[in-house]
Amino acid sequence: MMTSPSSDLTTNHQLPSKVLHALDGAATRKPAGRKENQLLDAAEEVFLLHGYAGASVDDIVLKAGISKATLYKYFCDKGALFSAVIDRRCLEQRERLNALTLNVPTEEALIEGGKLAVTFMVSPLAQAVYRTCVAEAERFPHVGHAFYLSAAVAMTEQLSAVFERAEEAGDLVVPDKPLAANQLWQLARSVYFYELMFKVRESVSQNERNKIVKSALEMFVARYGTEPFKKRMAARLEELG
């Protein structure tokens, strides 16, 4: 099932009316079926290859093997289609995070969430999406906003829920959960994200990913962890090497 950022996200993070209008097509659609997923697969490939401005509807329908009429049956314009492409991939990450962090001890939720964040940050797909969004954000603001809502805002709210459960368990004390979520997200990004972005390196090894997860969580727990939890977390992080 594919969904779009909730109305709560757009309420809490005020966006220009022009941008909200561009997102409406993706926000009100029904779950994707086979043909719609076929269209989204083709659109993703074309957008990532040519960028938002360079991607044409003609190229997308040709790649998907469908008509323009079929495309406009699902999406009101190219902006709504791009928003849906981004949201589908971000939704996958949000669902994985939810599956990994529900009904597990806080230390496992943080470690698995950290691993997921780092793996996503260094993936070729995330790098390509980020480059596209940054490149087009000035001329087409809804492109950047679509990614911001689906990735940054949605992930912040999901991590905030993890922190709330950790507080109930007596493991963390987090006065400003959205701020803490953004801090953890930035720690997980690390220097490797930028080295990949600027083609300084081509890949990040598993050992390097574990190193970032361990370092990020050591800093995070030092700030927000209760004393008993700090001891448990330190022992668990030693297992990462």
* pLDDT tens digits, one per residue of 185-223: 999 988 899 999 999 999 999 999 999 999 999 999 999
Residue ranges of domains in the chain: 7-238
Task: Say whether pLDDT at 21 is over 50.
Answer: no
Output the CA–CA distances (angstroms, integers) from residue 99 to 92, 95, 113, 121, in the order listed: 11, 6, 10, 19
Fold of 7-238: Tetracycline Repressor; domain 2 (1.10.357)
* pLDDT tens digits, one per residue of 156-189: 988 999 999 999 999 999 999 999 999 999 999 8
> With bands split at pLDDT 50, 70 and 90, how would you rate the model's confidence at 237?
very high
Q: What are the residues whose beta carbons fall under 8 Å from the beta carbon of 144, sequence distance 6 or more?
A: 133, 134, 136, 137
> With bands split at pLDDT 50, 70 and 90, how would you rate the model's confidence at 94?
confident
pTM: 0.78
